[in-house]
Amino acid sequence: MTRNEVTELVILQKLRKQLTWPQLAEAIGQSKEWTTAALLGQMTLTAEQAAKIGDLLELPADAVEQLQVVPYKGSLPTSVPTDPLIYRFYELVSVYGTTFKALIHEEFGDGIMSAIDFSMDLQREPDPKGDRVKIVMSGKFLPYKSY
C-alpha cells in the first residue's frame, strides 16, 4: 500500500465514520492542524499515534505502518495550484511574499522562517459581514550563517 493510497483510505474512513479532524487530533494528543497534515501524508506519526488512528479508522496493518514512514513532503500536484482555495494561498504569497520577506528581514535580519520548527492555528472568526478564516502561523527564525 502506497502513502497516497493510505491518504485516500484515511479520507474515506474519516467520512464513513463521520469523524472530524479535531476528533482525530484529540485521539492522538496533537493539534488539528498538525494531525490533518499528518493524515494527509505530510508528517510522520509515532507507532502509538498510528495505532490509535488505525483503530479509530479501522485501517489495515500496512496502512498503520505507512503512517510511520517519513513522507516525501509537498503535496500539490502542480506548481501553480488549480484548486480555488489553495490557489488563494498561492495568490497571497504572490502578492504579499515580497512584503513578508522585507518585513522579516528588517525585523530579524537575513534568514528564513522555518516550516519545520513551526506551529499553526486555524479558527473561524464570526463576522456580521460573513465569517472569516483566521490563520496564525509561527515559525522559528533561522538566520543565514557565514562560513
Residues assigned a catalytic role = 88, 91, 114
Which residue is it, cell 513578508? 100
Ramachandran angles phi, psi of 124, nearest 5° = -85, 135
Across the chain, the runs of DSSP E, i.e. the strands, are: 111-125, 132-143
Q: Measured between alpha carbons, how far is 62 from 31 in angstroms, rounded to an integer?
A: 25
Long-range contacts of range 83-88, CB-CB < 8 Å, 24 or more positions apart? none
